Amino acid sequence: MNIEEFVEKYKVERHNSTSLKWDLLEERFGDADLLAMWVADMDFRTSDSITEALTKRVNHGVYGYSFVPQSYFDAYFNWMEERYSFQLKKEWIRYSTGVVAALYWFINAFTEPEDSVIILTPVYYPFHNAVRDCGRKLITCPLNNDNGYFTFDYDRFEQAIIDSRAKLYIHCSPHNPAGRVWSEEEQDKLFEICKKHNVLIVSDEIHQDFTFDDHKHIPAAVVKDGKYRDLIITVNSASKTFNLAALIHSNIIITDDILREKYDKYIKTVNQTDFNTMGLTATEAGYSSGGEWLESVKSVIYSNFVYARDTLNKELPEITVTPMEGTYLMFIDLNKIIPKEKTKEFIQDRCRLAVDFGEWFGTDYKGYVRLNLATTPENVKIAITNIIREAKLLKENDYMNVPSLLSI
Ligand SMILES: Cc1ncc(COP(=O)(O)O)c(C=O)c1O
């Protein structure tokens, strides 16, 4: 299916559908009329195969106690093996009601109060919250940022681990918002440091299925033929892949017996409910027959990115656009066109956009914004056009005295 056909078939009006992204703009941004380019979900209906599987379940009309069928494992394991050469075993798999929930459980299961947990900033803000909320010490270590291209700063990472005696590192792969798809070599070098200092690695791989060009996602547990498996706890989900976030279903993979035992001991103390039947049903349908839909939505997203990047580069070369190797989130640096403290006013009041602001991901990132490109080309065009028009106005005039020309 080409891009136009896909967009026509799957785009959907989301206002008044209890959408956090579209219906809570007033509450979260103080302005209900913004174009929603924030929360990381998609403005497209999920694949037909998922809708059919859920409909079948609903038509049956019974939601009694359930179990995970063999067909679920078959679908999930095939997906992971075919795409990521990760051969899974049933006994390694656990479930969580969302990836963020799992992060909290891992922190509680594998560290003690007052232990330090390290994250690499800028990074998805619930990483910060999870560490703080669990009463652990949050250690933030910056990624290198070379004109929007982010890399690991190995020396700084090691020093931060030594200084803080960190027990756990939360890895984001592919990385939100830096857009990096970490190579095997990069991960090997980073994990070697973890191994040397006995730091456990929680790998959040929720964005695994969004990689572009020739960038290939390498699961942490697959790096160097599983060399670091005794340090790794992985969590992934079909929720980003097939737009299923509200069905709150994720997979946890713990290949190491000792780590798994420790996790199981902890999880007993919170009497965790195993899974949600609708989440499980949708996940199985996606992994077994959602591949074509995924390829189409990825084409839309990447075409949106190429348009946004090229148009911004041409019209406003002062804006740095981070290369989007993976995820569907575009991170851009507005610092050369607008003073940091005016970013919110510029983006919301002038450009009429609701975005994720850079400082949510790390204190050094005020002046950056993250735009969600999993939407229609039309919305992306409005967003980019508004930014360009307002930035040009701003260049030509005194910002505070120029009325906005825009409405969406
Ligand atoms: C890196 C990362 N982890 C987790 C999540 C959310 O996961 P969940 O909705 O399953 O809690 C997101 C959503 O944007 C994310 O970017």
Q: Does the C-beta of 124 come closer than 6 Å to ligand 1?
A: yes
Q: Does the C-beta of 127 come closer than 6 Å to ligand 1?
A: no
Render pLDDT for 225-247 as a digit per residue (tens, 0 to 9). 999 999 999 999 999 999 999 99
More confident residue, 273 or 239: 239
Q: Does the C-beta of 250 come closer than 6 Å to ligand 1?
A: yes
Asked if 251 and 270 touch (Cβ cutoff 8 Å), the reply is no
Q: Does the C-beta of 176 come closer than 6 Å to ligand 1?
A: yes
- Which residue among 39, 100, 252 has the greatest number of ligand 1 atoms within 8 angstroms of its CB, and so is best to mutate? 100
Residue spans of alpha helices (H) in 99-183? 99-110, 125-133, 154-164
* Cα–ligand 1 centroid distance for 317 (angstroms): 31
* Cα–ligand 1 centroid distance for 402 (angstroms): 38
**Single-letter amino acid code for the residue at 46:** T
Q: Which helix (H) or strand (E) holds 334?
A: none
Give dist(CA 189, CA 389) in Å, integer. Answer: 44
Name the percent of the chain lying above pLDDT 70.
97
- Which residue among 21, 37, 99 has the greatest number of ligand 1 atoms within 8 angstroms of its CB, and so is best to mutate? 99
Give dist(CA 259, CA 220) in Å, integer. Answer: 15
Work out the number of other CB atoms within 10 angstroms of the CB of residue 33: 11
Q: Does the C-beta of 239 come closer than 6 Å to ligand 1?
A: yes
Per mean pLDDT, which range of 11-20, 72-81, 353-362, 392-401 is the poorest? Answer: 392-401
CB-based contacts of 359, cutoff 8 Å, min separation 6:
365, 366
Give dist(CA 372, CA 331) in Å, integer. Answer: 9
Q: Nearest residue CA, atom 13 of ligand 1?
A: 40
Q: Nearest residue CA, atom 14 of ligand 1?
A: 40
Q: What are the E-state strand segments in 75-199?
A: 93-96, 116-121, 137-142, 144-146, 149-151, 168-172
* Cα–ligand 1 centroid distance for 28 (angstroms): 18
**CA-39 nearest atom, ligand 1:** 14
pLDDT tops 50 at residue 313: yes
Cα Rg, the chain, nearest whole Å: 21
Helix (H, G, I), strand (E, B), or coil: what is residue 93? strand
**Single-letter amino acid code for the residue at 383:** A
Q: Does the C-beta of 99 come closer than 6 Å to ligand 1?
A: yes
Identify the pLDDT of residue 407: 45
Segment 328-351 shows an average pLDDT of: 96
Residue spans of alpha helices (H) in 139-231? 154-164, 184-196
pLDDT tops 60 at residue 406: no
Q: Does the C-beta of 42 come closer than 6 Å to ligand 1?
A: no
Q: Mind listing the domains of the chain with CATH numbers?
A: 3-47+291-401 (3.90.1150.10), 66-289 (3.40.640.10)
Structure tokens at 167: 């027990």
Strands 144-146 and 137-142: unpaired
Q: Does the C-beta of 98 come closer than 6 Å to ligand 1?
A: yes
Render pLDDT for 110-154 as a digit per residue (tens, 0 to 9). 999 999 999 999 999 999 999 999 999 999 999 999 999 999 999
